[in-house]
Structure 1
């Protein structure tokens, strides 16, 4: 994703109690202390991105929009060559319970959670995406384990695009590190899911995204979700964006079927995530996701049983700038505030 473009009641009560206990553990634990996941990602989830790099608090945005789960954008290194993850690439925002710890506590107390995302357009074009920046697989692994332990995570996302799609060494290091973290998590009684967020064409992944997944398979790295960015196609023509989401996802499932031939159709669709960009995307008006499209995407996602609906980004979910393309703070179309959030949040099971 891009900061800027070119880009049930007993069971429920028990779950809430567990979330509150885990949140308390998090808030009282020092940075790096082991905190088991407060929540398991639902079978179906709406987890929009929140622009933490703009100073927004994820829990506040979630509360205002009526959303339970959010994706936090982004973590990266402060400079190329570094092996240290920081929020928003700022050394003043290290991986620590004092940074966003209260946000995770609030999200869990409200019945949701957060999914940190590493990378993003800026990191992927400045060599500050962790596996591009750091040449040590063990150091990458250590940073991921620290991130998971500090916040008690149940899913970590990697937003890989632009230059990071062609950095074969970085792709290999990242997948090797994820595999090592999966082994570490299993030996410590944790289950942590991993997702890749990747750009897409209207008919599925390009060669770069496919290469990322092929390398994961080669490294015996479990990837739970492939979340495609169904916007910014830049084909020179216009698209009906809900239809393009469907064709892009079908293309992804076809490719996943080649990579995971033992999986059933339902299992393949359960690996799919789609990230929409409400309103006018960076390309312009020919790529406009309308409010009607939002309902179509929801119905389609239910019918296919995809894992995740997301959007770039929560801050855009308002009608404050009709006609504007690619804004970080508004959708560019006439809409009620939080329309897309309210439409997609019921997808969270």
Structure 2
């Protein structure tokens, strides 16, 4: 994902108080709201989604981000992915490489989400800025940086969004895999997602290598996640391209780990982009995204997300897409409502 601008053991993952909603909605392609009632007295409540399974990206760096708690209440969203954790110039994590983990707006937002019963997955990396995978000199040091993020907020999941020069280096790819193995070993129950680019047919060479290295290291990644957009090849059917990309991803995961197709899909996922992408003429409509989420449900995918909540609304006066709007005809928070409750 990209903005348009630039040791100890936890004995168990922290249990969150889940947001109690009377209605959970999902928009159909026609815009109608399908509602599911909360469990009646005496019935079992719906199971909470695994941490990180369905958190759209929220970025505080631009684009008029919504108040997180109000957004959750309006849309039924229970999970958010917060972007981006980068290097502060050395092997220490900071929001956008500048803001400390504690004491600022980022911590306040995370605490507000958690107080509302929500779940937060920080995204470490992204397209721009200095990456921890490159700044840290060893896997142990990198794992320590990841651990700082986990400990700062009592997290149940992290997302490693590995792009640009970080993903292009084989040495750094190995360091990231080895660091995540350390994190997994030290944090019982932690969910780890690894997000990277793709072709419509599935992961390209760096992504393939990450999966192979993960399997060789015995790293149990909870969701290998591709970003099926910015193809630059004239792709117009983004739903079909997303499905084929994830099919290719699941095949790679199955082969590398020696697991069944069904098991591989359950370790795979995607993170789309709502509305106009960064490539001229490439558009993900709400109908496309609904089709993608239906596909994800059919295949029991580990993670579904999109970039970004900030853009999940039409542009005022039909303006150009950007940091705060999608550039398509849509209802406010339409993509978020489609995704809400996924994995529960």
Contact 2:48 2:343 in 1 (8 A): no
Do the aligned partners of residues 42 and 213 (structure 1) sit closer, same or farther apart at CA in structure 2, a change above 3 Å counting?
same
Q: Distance in 2 between matches of 1:18 and 1:216?
A: 28
2:282 counterpart of 1:270: no
Following the alignment from structure 2 to structure 1, what is the Cα–Cα distance between the partners of residues 50 and 143? 26
Q: Secondary structure at the match of 2:278?
A: coil
Aligned residues of 1:58 and 1:72 also touching (Cα < 8 A)? no
Structure 2 CA distance, aligned partners of 1:255 and 1:174?
19
State the Cα distance separating 1:171 from its structure 2 match. Answer: 1.3
Match of 1:173 among 148, 172, 175: 175
Give yes or no for the alignment of 1:311 onto 2:306: yes
User: In the alignment, is residue 243 of structure 1 matched against residue 276 of structure 2?
Assistant: no
> In the alignment, which residue of structure 2 is the partner of 1:122?
128
Partner of 1:45: 53
Measure, in 1, the Cα distance between the counterparts of 2:238 and 2:215. 31
SS in 2 for 1:283: coil
Deviation at 1:192, TM superposition (A): 0.6
How many pairs align?
Answer: 306
Name the counterpart of 1:213. Answer: 211
Cα distance in 2 for partners of 1:132, 1:5 equals 21
Give the Cα–Cα distance (whole angstroms) in 1 for the partners of residues 229 and 5 of structure 2. Answer: 11
**What CA deviation, in whole Å up to 9, does each residue of 1:80-103 have, x standing for no partner?**
xx111101110xx22236663443
Q: Is the 8 A contact 1:253 1:272 kept in 2?
A: yes
Deviation at 1:208, TM superposition (A): 1.0
Alignment gaps of 5+ in structure 2: 7-13, 19-46
Partner residue of 2:3? 3
Report deviation, 1:256. Answer: 0.8
Q: Report the aligned-residue RMSD.
A: 2.5
Unaligned runs of 5+ in 1: 7-16, 22-38
Find the aligned partners of 1:165 and 1:20 in 2 and give their Cα distance.
36
2:340 counterpart residue number: 345
Higher RCO by CA contacts (8 Å cutoff, separation 6 or greater): 2
Relative to 1, partners in 2 of residues 1:346 and 1:183: Cα closer, same or farther, differing over 3 Å?
closer
Aligned to 1:302: 297
Report matched runs for 1:67-78 at 5 Å.
Answer: 67-78=77-88
Residue in structure 2 matched with residue 143 of structure 1 by the alignment: 145
**Contact 2:314–2:331 at 8 Å: present in 1 too?**
yes
User: Could you tell me how far apart the structure 2 residues matched to 1:5 and 1:272 are?
Assistant: 29
TM-score of the superposed pair, with normalisation by structure 2: 0.82
- The answer for the alignment partner of 1:28 in structure 2 is none
**Distance across 1 between alignment mates of 2:100 and 2:235:** 42
C-alpha distance in 2, partners of 1:252/1:111?
Answer: 32
Q: Following the alignment from structure 2 to structure 1, what is the Cα–Cα distance between the partners of residues 124 and 48?
A: 20
For residue 24 of structure 1, what is the aligned residue in structure 2?
Answer: none
Residue 100 in 1 paired to residue 103 in 2? Answer: no
Partner of residue 83, structure 1: 91
